[in-house]
Amino acid sequence: MATLEDQVPQRPSISSTGNLTNYSFPQARLRRCMKDSSKTPLLLVACGSFSPITYLHLRMFEMAADFAKYNSDFEVVGGYLSPVSDAYRKAGLASAEHRIAMTRIATEQSSTWLDVDPWEAIQKEYQPTALVLDHFEHEINVAQRGIATEGGERKHVRIVLLAGADLIQTMSTPGVWSQDDLDHILGKYGVFIVERAGTDIDDALATLTPWRHNIWVIQQLIQNDVSSTKIRLFLKREMSVRYLVPAPVIKYIEDHGLYEDDGASSSIHEKGREVPAEAAAGSSTSG
């Protein structure tokens, strides 16, 4: 039986971080043609620190793909991780160069359909989630005019944010997100939310009723509460993180001496900057 990984071009080898001058949108793993033109093409985007990336970050995409396949009229045509920029200034945040490298290594070794877009990470200023989604909307539906169908037509791709349940909690907390951002993210794009132990999603959703039709909740059939914060703590204590983080990522961390003292590997050029309200509340995914 055909899977999501079928007919997806192979990605190029890992390259350096780069900058906005030589930036180009990564397309090597983006599906070129739909399998079922009666469905709505879906692109999943996960924004977050990914410091470091864990197997749960990758697993979220697989859960979302299964959910879309069996519980919706969507057809997943691609998935992207978008690491936050150094301007985020979160404790334990490795530099954008390292986080781009780690996410690329993880997707290269663990997936044939996920990719990493460095656009957000290489920005000098913090980019709100709404603007990051606008970036994907432009690259996919304006620059590429959507996706082809078997009949040769072009179809608009639905861009959807993929995040953990903690995001919905922050969105339902008064004063954390602006009404305009909530309407932009949840109204225009929508979000796939992966449940997390200890998070009361029903209470959070109660305050987001205007956008409930654009919020899809994915149940974790096998509970996993791994987080980048816990991984950094393990590394600081010289405890094993094997089978929690992809092995090539662990090697990269060891080779570059990351997270030996949580916070010491954070970017230093943004010291003293005020963290935007959205950033202070937490990124769109754990880590």
- The residue among 2, 104, 130, 124 whose CA lies nearest residue 50 is 104
Backbone angles phi, psi at 173, to 5 degrees: -90, 120
Q: What is the DSSP string of 220-232?
A: -SS-----HHHHH
Task: Enumerate residues 6+ apart whose C-beta is below 8 A from 271.
Answer: 89
User: pTM for this structure?
Assistant: 0.86
Cα(89)–Cα(108) distance, rounded to whole angstroms? 27
Q: Taking 90 as the threshold, does the pLDDT of residue 117 lie above it?
A: yes
Query: Residues 36-47: pLDDT tens digits?
Result: 999 999 999 999
Reply yes or no on whether the pLDDT at 2 is more than 90: no
**145: which residues sit within 8 A by CB, 6+ positions away?**
154
Give the pLDDT score at 287: 62
**154-155 and 147-148 strand pairing:** antiparallel
- DSSP output for 104-125: HHHHHHH-SSEEE--TTTT-SS
Asked if residue 49 lies in contact with residue 84, where contact means CB atoms within 8 angstroms, the answer is: yes
CA 82, 287, 206: angle at the middle one, nearest 5? 90
pLDDT above 50: residue 113:
yes
pLDDT, greater one: 21 or 279: 21
Question: Residue 90: pLDDT band by 50, 70, 90 thresholds?
Answer: confident
Question: pLDDT at residue 63 above 70?
Answer: yes
pLDDT tens string 233-255: 999 999 999 999 999 999 999 99
- Mean pLDDT to the nearest integer, 208-235: 94
Output the average pLDDT for the chain.
86
Q: Which two tokens stand for residue 55?
A: 């197997």
Question: CA-to-CA distance for 26 and 221, rounded, in angstroms?
Answer: 32
Rounded Cα distance between 72 and 269, Å, is: 44
pLDDT at residue 87, rounded to an integer: 94
Model confidence band, residue 107 (pLDDT cutoffs 50, 70, 90): very high
Asked if residue 14 has pLDDT above 50, the reply is no
Cα end-to-end span (Å), the chain: 35
Mean pLDDT value of segment 127-156:
97
Give the C-alpha distances (Å, rounded to integers) separating 245 from 11, 87, 206, 273. 21, 25, 34, 31
Please give the average per-residue pLDDT across 105-110, as a whole number.
95
Greatest mean pLDDT among 99-113, 162-176, 202-216:
99-113
pLDDT at residue 277 is higher than 50: no
Lowest mean pLDDT among 142-156, 240-254, 268-282: 268-282
pLDDT at 19: 65
pLDDT at 261: 79
> pLDDT, tens digit, for every residue of 260-269?
875 534 333 3
